[in-house]
Amino acid sequence: MTALASPRPLGRWSPAQRREIWATLKALLFLAPSLLIFVAFVFYPLLQSIRLSLYATDPIGRPSFFVGLEQYQRLFATPVYLNALRVSVSFVALTVPTVLVLALILALLGSLRLRGIFLFRTIFSSTIAVSGATASLIFLFLYHPAIGVFTYLLDSLGLPRIPWLTSAATALPSVAMPSVWLQLGFSTIVILAAMQGIPEELYEAARIDGAGGWHTFRHITFPMLSSTLFFLLVVGTIAAFQTFTQVNILTRGGPIDSTNLVVFSIYREFYFNGQYGYASAQALMLFGIMLILTFLQFTVVERKVYYQ
């Protein structure tokens, strides 16, 4: 019988293994500051939100007694929250496709080889430097029923005035306009950068084959931009669901809750109604909705995306 091979003594590593362990430790050392920030400002608040959503809380936010999933059941039995979900979905439908279409048009115009085109690019990209609060205040002035620019233009054209922020029918589109304006510059720059990365040989081959402008756009430009448009679709959807500043400054959720987005509903329940557990349940429900939408986008929409 042959003797069994003795196991390798513990604590003895080959030089390659020692180098790999040392490289891993160095990587963790460099990642430690970022991991600490994520733990402090992302993971710990997430765990606390989950905990709060399972408890009824006292007026200062301390958990008082365990209620389980009662807060989540309450969400779907509350007309105000269901309305906030409906309004949020409508807001996303108003802003995200509008931003993508307008950004694509501006990028096509910005890609033209014209004299002074850099000035045009500078103008449409300037919204990147504007904050949400500043944009909201600008549009608040534009919407003013007495001295607003929009009201003056309507009066000059002999058209009836529009109650921008005071009518339930027009309030949500009025809140969507500054959101579109804010995101337009970034989206246009991203699309324009992607367009400049398309190989010129493809366009030359199309011109040789006699393809016109529309066929060139349909069969070359748009397919090559599909990955960029998909990225902007995902990012824009998440940003639209998280919109708060425009609603807080322009309408405060009114009139008649017509602009009461989910994030503003969370803010109102938390800071004004003292419903900390209920607000935490709303926040986690929004997180779940965004997670499901992102998953669907990556599993369904991404199938139509062309990667070079």
pLDDT for the residue 10: 45
pLDDT for the residue 308: 61
Mean pLDDT by 10 residues, the chain (308 residues): 48 78 88 90 89 85 84 90 94 95 91 81 84 93 90 92 92 95 92 88 85 84 88 92 94 92 92 88 92 86 68
Look at residue 170 and give its three-state secondary structure.
coil
The per-residue pLDDT for range 204-249, each reduced to its tens digit, is: 888 888 878 888 888 888 888 888 899 999 999 999 999 999 999 9
- Alpha-helix residue ranges (DSSP H) falling in 197-261: 200-208, 213-216, 222-241, 245-250
Phi, psi at residue 168, to the nearest 5°? -65, -25
pTM for the whole structure: 0.85
Q: Is 68 left (phi over 0), alpha (psi -120 to 50) or beta?
A: left
pLDDT for the residue 307: 64
Q: Which two tokens stand for residue 221?
A: 């430009």
Distance, in Å, from the CA atom of 70 to the CA atom of 175, rounded to the nearest integer, reads 33
Q: Which amino acid is at 246?
A: Q
Phi, psi at residue 12, to the nearest 5°? -105, 120
Residue 245 CB-half CA count within 13 A: 14
pLDDT for the residue 306: 63
The per-residue pLDDT for range 264-294, each reduced to its tens digit, is: 999 998 888 888 899 999 999 999 998 998 8
Q: Which two tokens stand for residue 97?
A: 């496709």
Q: Could you give the domains of the chain?
A: 15-70 (no CATH), 72-304 (1.10.3720.10)
Strands (E), the chain: 55-57, 63-66
